[in-house]
Chains A and B, each alone.
Chain A
Amino acid sequence: MLIIENLHAEIDGKPILKGLDLVVRPGEVHAIMGPNGSGKSTLSYLIAGRPGYTVTAGSITYHGKDLLAMAPEERAGEGVFLAFQYPVEIPGVNNVYMLRAAVNGIRRYRGQAEIGAVDFLNMVKARTREIGLKESLLNRPVNQGFSGGEKKRNEVFQMSVLEPSLAVLDETDSGLDIDALRIVAEGVNRLRGPERAFVVVTHYQRLLDYIVPDFVHVLANGRIVKSGTRELALELEARGYDWLLEDAA
């Protein structure tokens, strides 16, 4: 479903990705690991369509469509979701209003009728209970005054409402204590299914104890330098990244 080929990208003239290849099929969970500065967040942002990056070569296609040619909201309409490493605080914009705008934006993109207020609210309340998000946070401004854990939980909650076919989780484990991590992972696991894929970007192996990946890739210096299964993540935990970086250099 997601095919990334020979992706080269730079920001402010500085090359970040230097020939990245990745294929994700429905139902799969891919973990992207790697040292800081290796391009993990850039990859996440490029899939979601954050402005500011220049793609100098290569392509990202999703269900056969050129993802790079689409606006971020069109990508969301195609089923792509990014859980942010640092969720943005938006004063004055209520969580529920934002989500309804998102759900209806996606439905219009797909040529579907907008969802009614009552159905929407019932659905949203069911999801808050599943994710363990305090219902009182629903009518608060987006992420404002949320703790670090609440912000991450809010990301997973939004994902569960939007039901993407491809979810990219950018360091969703950072800043979470073990209980929050488990709840977030449960939220992700509940969404796993044969039609849905995940790209889990993480610095640490820990998250992968809870979200068990099918494939693990090591991103270093803008390229995937090694791919394997879950055992690779355990090896990385034991040995660090240096032995791979020497190979990559």
Chain B
Amino acid sequence: MGLIETIARALQTPASDAPGAATRADALAAALAQGTPGVRDEDWRYTDLAATTRHAYAPAAATELSEALPLAELAGPRFVFVNGHHTAQDLAALRLPEGIAVRLLADYGQREPDWAAECLARQAKPGTRAFVALNAAAAPDGLVIDIAPGTRMPEPLIVIFMTASTDAPVLVSPHLQINAGAHSELSVVEVHASGGHAPSLSNAYTRLVTGDGAKLSHYRVVVDGADGNHIGTVEMEIGRDSEVENFSLALSGRLIRVDVDARMGAPGGTLRLNGVFLAGDAQHIDHHTQVVHAASHTTSEEVYKGIADGTGRGVFNGKIVVPAGVAKVVANQSSHNLLLSSEAEIDTKPELEINADDLRCAHGATVGQLDDDSLFYLQSRGVPAEDARALLTFGFVQSLVETIPLPALQRLVAARFATGNPRLARLLTGDFS
């Protein structure tokens, strides 16, 4: 029995009073109809869920959190979910700025079941990908944020999904939807974290829709514990003349699979799609991105940087779709990867489905080791070889991470690199700005 089937069995007695119960039942049926993807599916060739499937994950109950929250020093409206349940009783207490409307599936959806059903309907259609459908079936709560047209958010919205420590394998189903109104500007930091001793599985769904001229930066972080598994899907609909950045930071976890699907359905949209992953020993991190240039005059710039160490494994698959009849498209993609051990492996693949000819499309991929010239340069200055390797490895991703205008997020990446590497921790301490 596969992962989807195992979880479906655990879900088999959904509370009939859950908001959108009928839609959830449809979603579960859609998930089961798709079944658990296997390595024979082209999109899952390199990511075998068999090991993840061994555990009988059961939906996690709402609970108190004992772990410290990540990014505590980052300022901004903060929404914290533990095991998929929102922790604050009263959204009004969050004192949100004007122009932002927040609704919770478990709360508002209870009062407005039609709205709840509508929120989940997209994920319940037959043919929906299994994990996306499963999220709708299993999510006990969800956050739906509407940004009014013209609103400029001065601080990032911070959405944190924590999986609390338990003794038994748990499933959490984070659910986030953001509708950025026309000409609004905001950034969103979405964090998925776990630190438990028992295996956990987070099956997350994020949907971002931007209106005309809206500017949205979305930073998505996964910092799971050693037995934390994460399967996440990000869907984006990019409006006319809208500027969107999506940055995936997959920093730790047992198995991480992130699908990023962007649809550029109106002219003038630009998308920056960035990713950094760090697959340490025994970790597996897979990114599948897809950009559909459904309208003319759309631009996508994609840069992914990955590192695999020990027996770590990384996967990047970047799909670019340009249908017939579309013109003036620019699509650039690069995937650069660093292998730090002889047992590490990274598979990177561009996938182009281009049926138009008035476009500029470039892609490139590299998998290599640290640059010998850079290593010698640092050593010749007196930097010990081990320190030089640590600095260069960090620098490899920092050159992309430094584009994030949130120092707290940059520090989170640096901290991840410094974990278990006291030499680098020492090198990176001290503020020289």
Contact with A along B161-176 (1 / 0, CB 8 A): 0000000000000000
B374 at interface (Cβ–Cβ under 8 A)? yes
The answer to whether A72 and B379 have CB atoms under 8 Å apart is yes
The answer to whether B385 and A71 have CB atoms under 8 Å apart is yes
Q: Which residues of B contact A81 (CB under 8 A)?
A: 380-381
Q: Which residues of A contact B391 (CB under 8 A)?
A: 93, 97-98, 101
Contact with A along B364-397 (1 / 0, CB 8 A): 0000000111101111111111011001101111
Report how many residues on chain A are interfacial, defined by Cβ distance under 8 Å. 40
B91 at interface (Cβ–Cβ under 8 A)? no
Given A90-B392, A91-B395, A93-B392, A98:B378 Cβ within 8 A: yes
The answer to whether A94 and B432 have CB atoms under 8 Å apart is yes
Q: B373: which of A49, A76, A88, A101 is its contact (CB, 8 Å)?
A: A88
B88 at interface (Cβ–Cβ under 8 A)? no
Given A50-B376, A51-B376, A97-B432, A92:B382 Cβ within 8 A: no
Contact with B along A115-149 (1 / 0, CB 8 A): 00100010000000000000000110110000000
The answer to whether B399 and A92 have CB atoms under 8 Å apart is yes
Q: B382: which of A77, A84, A117, A138 is its contact (CB, 8 Å)?
A: A77
User: Could you tell me the distance in whole angstroms from the C-beta of A31 to the nearest C-beta in chain B?
Assistant: 21
CA distance A84 to B381 in the complex (A): 11
The answer to whether A92 and B385 have CB atoms under 8 Å apart is no
The answer to whether B381 and A90 have CB atoms under 8 Å apart is no
Q: Which residues of B contact A217 (CB under 8 A)?
A: none
CA distance A50 to B376 in the complex (A): 6
CA distance A92 to B384 in the complex (A): 18
The answer to whether A138 and B432 have CB atoms under 8 Å apart is yes
Q: Which residue of A lies closest to B397 (CB)?
A: A92
Q: Which residues of A contact B378 (CB under 8 A)?
A: 90, 93, 98, 101-102
The answer to whether A91 and B383 have CB atoms under 8 Å apart is no
User: Could you tell me the distance in whole angstroms from the C-beta of A175 to the nearest C-beta in chain B?
Assistant: 17
Q: Which residues of B contact A48 (CB under 8 A)?
A: 376, 380
User: Could you tell me the distance in whole angstroms from the C-beta of A130 to the nearest C-beta in chain B?
Assistant: 18
A103 at interface (Cβ–Cβ under 8 A)? yes
User: Could you tell me the distance in whole angstroms from the C-beta of A111 to the nearest C-beta in chain B?
Assistant: 14
The answer to whether B381 and A162 have CB atoms under 8 Å apart is yes
The answer to whether A76 and B381 have CB atoms under 8 Å apart is yes
Chain B, interface SS category: helix
Chain A, interface SS category: helix
Q: Which residues of A contact B372 (CB under 8 A)?
A: 51
The answer to whether A117 and B398 have CB atoms under 8 Å apart is no
Contact with A along B91-106 (1 / 0, CB 8 A): 0000000000000000
Q: A97: which of B371, B379, B427 is its contact (CB, 8 Å)?
A: B427
Q: Which residues of B contact A50 (CB under 8 A)?
A: 376, 380
Given A90-B392, A92-B398, A117-B430, A162:B382 Cβ within 8 A: yes
Q: A100: which of B371, B376, B427 is its contact (CB, 8 Å)?
A: B427
Given A71-B379, A101-B427, A102-B378, A93:B384 Cβ within 8 A: no
Q: A50-B376, A75-B380, A93-B392 are in contact. List 12 more A-B contacts (CB 8 A).
A: A73-B380, A76-B382, A81-B381, A84-B380, A87-B377, A90-B377, A91-B399, A92-B396, A92-B398, A101-B391, A105-B383, A105-B387
